[in-house]
Amino acid sequence: MSLARSVAAFLLLLALQGCSGVQSALDPSGTEAERIDTLTWLLIVFSTTVFLAVGLITAAALRGGGRWRARLANERLVIGGGVVFPIVALTLLLGYGFYLMGPGSPAAARADGQLRIEVVGERWWWRVTYVDETGRRVESANEIRLPVGRPVQVELTSADVIHSFWIPRLAGKLDMIPGRTNRLTLQVAEAGISRGQCAEYCGGPHAFMSFFAIAMPEDQFTAWLDREAGDARNPSGEDQVAGQALFLSSGCVACHRVRGTEAQGTIGPDLTHVGSRHSLAAATLENDPDAFVRWIRDGQHVKPENLMPPYEIFTDGELRQLAAYLDQLR
Amino acid sequence: MKEPAKEAPTVSAILFLLAGPILWAGHLLLVYGVQSVTCVVGSGSVAPSALIRTLVVLVTLGAILLLCLALFFPGRLAHMLRYQTPDRDNHVFSVRVERLLILLSLPAVIWSGAAAFLLDACGLSR
Ligand SMILES: [Cu+2]
């Protein structure tokens, strides 16, 4: 295979790779994303057809000779293709648009009185609060869990600059604007994991402001939410106890909350159940003890300019103890 | 060869031929302008949706009236725009193009006006 051919094949593979996976709008798993996907393909096929037809007509007019030209200059073709066709086609499309955006539309179906999730964009992470049917508020961060098949209302706002909330597999993107609440209804079709990304440049580590959305069957979700609502687990092993002591005495508590302990800071993400999350630091790192160590010591290299100060005061042993403590917060 | 002075100015030709799409674009601009400005300024106090509907209806009726005038009296419009074509074939052709484009613009204007009644006036701006 020549070099050009292999490069082309490689690029094609890359492009195909982009069509599936946890963060692809072309691999929808939510009601709204499915609608967007249908509309996208409809428009692509329709526009391609029109484009090809116009191209053919142009080619026939240029190269086809007198007979073709006479045929193309036919009044019926001009009026049919130039007036009737666009009116019919665009009317249908507009009707579909009105259906999607109008009061009777699926998107307008509010999930009133049901589960609500408030998401606040922060530089550069997500504050997530679940408000269930009974009004119970459960605070978490950097991850969203959703029950399969049930519409959930997501309320979006920002604490600082404009961010944008986008889970391509579940729905279109919606801006998070300070002083304003934008609403989005998410309904997931099947259990599984999707990735979301801040979609509005918000400063330095904007690219590292992501999260995972995890859809789970109804019963599992309810059980999970009950666990998430509870206080943090008490550390048991020696390392874990030492880690908690370090956590409580090293200033972490000024910014982080671990419910059930003295740590009641609210500047940074809630860490009550941080060990059970799918990722760390807004989907920047995996979630395991090594990642905790890296984050605490090298956070400014892992995610430059993020708003947690770096801690170079700890020895390796102390870092391991801290990581052991944080990791068991499940 | 034709005398250049007898040719109609290009601007006139464009304005005449594209009268429909130009009115359509103007209508769209007004409808969206009115909607956005009213939504931002009138926060609930003036019942913006009633106000917006009234304004959109007025703008749309105005645009339809102008489009119909241009459709039924192309001669007047051509005169107003100083679009004189001594060549008879040329004249017939221009008028037909103008009319076809107006026929295309009329439903467009009516549809974008209808949106005011089919959609929540300020709900979707975000
Ligand atoms: Cu951002």
- In angstroms, the CA A226 to CA A222 distance is 6
Of A83, A102, A182, Cβ closest to residue B104: A83
**Contact (CB<8Å) B107/A82:** no
Q: Is the residue at A76 inside a domain? A: yes
Contact between residue A98 and residue B118 where contact means Cβ atoms under 8 Å apart: yes
pLDDT at B3: 54
Q: What is the mean pLDDT of residues A121-144?
A: 95
**What are all long-range contacts of A162-166, with beta carbons under 8 Å and residues at least 24 apart?**
A162/A121, A162/A200, A162/A202, A163/A121, A163/A198, A163/A200, A163/A202, A163/A209, A164/A121, A164/A198, A164/A199, A164/A200, A165/A119, A165/A121, A165/A196, A165/A198, A165/A199, A166/A196, A166/A197, A166/A198, A166/A199
Which pair of structure tokens corresponds to residue A282?
A: 């807004």
Helix A31-63 / helix A85-101 crossing angle, nearest 10 deg:
170
Share of chain B above pLDDT 90, in %: 48
Q: How many domains does chain B have?
A: 1
- In angstroms, the CA B113 to CA A137 distance is 44
Domain ranges, residue A298: 238-327
Q: What is the mean pLDDT of residues A139-144?
A: 97
Which pair of structure tokens corresponds to residue A99?
A: 């259906």
Q: In the block, which residue shows the tokens 């195909």?
A: A16
Task: Enumerate residues 6+ apart whose C-beta is below 8 A from B47.
Answer: none
| Residues A155 and A132 both lie in one domain | yes
Q: Is the residue at A6 inside a domain? A: no
For A193-251, the pLDDT digits (tens) are 999 999 999 999 999 999 999 999 999 999 999 999 999 999 999 999 999 999 999 99
- In angstroms, the CA A301 to CA B93 distance is 70
Taking the CB of residue A248, how many other CB atoms lie within 10 A of it? 15
The residue out of A198, A229, A260 marking a domain boundary is: A229
Split at pLDDT 50, 70, 90, the class of A10 is low
Residue A97 has pLDDT above 70, yes or no: yes
| Residues A120 and A223 both lie in one domain | yes
Domain ranges, residue B33: 11-118
Q: What is the predicted ipTM? A: 0.80
**Contact (CB<8Å) B119/A98:** yes
pLDDT at B74: 92
Residue A279 has pLDDT above 90, yes or no: yes
For A216-232, the pLDDT digits (tens) are 999 999 999 999 999 99
For A16-34, the pLDDT digits (tens) are 555 568 999 999 999 889 9
**Contact (CB<8Å) A101/B124:** yes
Give residues whose Cβ lies within 5 Å of ion ligand 1. A 163, 198, 202, 206, 209
pLDDT at A31: 87
pLDDT at A74: 86
Q: Is the residue at B4 inside a domain? A: no
Q: Is the residue at B5 inside a domain? A: no
Which residues of B fall within a CB distance of 8 Å from A82? 100, 104
Which residues in chain B come in under a pLDDT of 50? 1, 126
